[in-house]
Amino acid sequence: MPVPVGLNVWSRLVENTFPYLDQTAEPFESLWFPDHVQYGAHKVAEGWTLLAYALARYPDKMCTHEVICNSFRNPAHLAKMVATAHALSGGRVVLGIGAGWNEEEYRAYGWPFPPTRVRIAQMCEAIELIRLMWTTSPASYKGEHYQISGAYCEPRPDPLPPVVVGGHGEKYLLRAVAKHADWWNYSFRDDATYAHKQEVLKTHCAEVGRDYDEIVQVLRAGILIAETEGEVERLKMQPHIRPMQDIRLAGTPAQVTDALLGIIKRGARRLTVNFADAPRPEGTRLFAATVLPHL
C-alpha cells in the first residue's frame, strides 16, 4: 500500500515559497509549512498565513504545519481558526502542533519563554481545549494554563482534523505524544535513534494505557538527491545548498529509495520530505520521478 508523502517547505524561502511549490507540489499528497516569526537574520513568513493561502492555491492538497508553535496563539482562537479553514477547504486541514523551542523569537516578540516542561504542559492543555471546542458547544475548560467559559466554535469540524504532535524529547514530549497525538511527527536522524525513540514512545503508551500502534508515525527527512554520487558530492559544496547538518539522506535515487523504504519498514506510515537545493526545483523533481513511485 503506498505511503503518503508530503512536501515540506523550509522556513527561509519566503518569497520563493509559492513559485517553488507551483513547480513541484503536484505529485505530493500534502504540503507541510513552518511556523516561525523570526530566525536570526533570515527572512521568514508567518506560518498560518502560508497555510491559508496554500489551501486556496492548491485545492487538491491537504495542508498542515510541521509544526505550529502553541505559544504563538491563544488555543481557543486556534481551535476556531483550524475549524474555519477545515470547513472552507472541504476538510483538508491537519493540526500539527509543538511546544516551541526557538527562544530568540519568543524574546523578540514579547512572549514568555517558560521552561520546556511548562511549554509542553501548555501544549497538552491546548490540545485538550481545542478538541473540546471542536466537539462541545458551548465549551468550558479550566486548566493550569488555559481557561475558557461558554466558548462556541462554529462550524465544528466534521470529521475532526488529526492532531500531529511534533518532537522527540524522551521524558515529557513523547509522553505527550502517547497521551494526546493522533500522529507523531519525528525528524529523522538515523535508524538507531529512530528505533530508540520508538521504544521510549512504546513505554509511555503502556504507562498511559494507549495503543502504540494507533499513533500514526510521520517522519520528516531532509534530502539531497542527484543522479550520481559524484554530483551529490559536488552539490554539497555549492553555496545555494542547505547546510548538510540539516540533511540526513544524501545520495542517488536508488540510495534515497532504499533509505526511505527502511524507514517505512521500521514503522513510518507517512513521510514528509524537504530538499537541500530548494527553492531550485531540480532535486524535488528528480525525487518525484525516481523515488516516489517506489514508496
Query: What cell does 99 get?
Result: 511546544
Distance (Å, whole) CA 134 – CA 153:
6
Residue 204's domain comprises: 5-294
- Cβ neighbors of 160 (< 8 A, separation 6 or more) are 131, 134, 135
List the CATH number of the domain containing 113: 3.20.20.30
- Our count of domains for the chain comes to 1
Beta bridge partner(s), residue 141: 148
Distance (Å, whole) CA 197 – CA 13:
30
Q: Per-residue pLDDT tens, the chain, 295 aa: give them.
A: 689 999 999 988 889 999 999 999 999 999 999 999 998 888 899 999 999 999 999 999 999 999 999 999 999 999 999 999 999 999 999 999 999 999 999 999 999 999 999 999 999 999 999 999 999 989 999 999 999 999 999 999 999 999 999 999 999 999 999 999 999 999 999 999 999 999 999 999 999 999 999 999 999 999 999 999 999 999 999 999 998 988 999 999 999 999 999 999 999 999 999 999 999 999 999 999 999 999 9
pTM, whole model, 2 decimals? 0.95
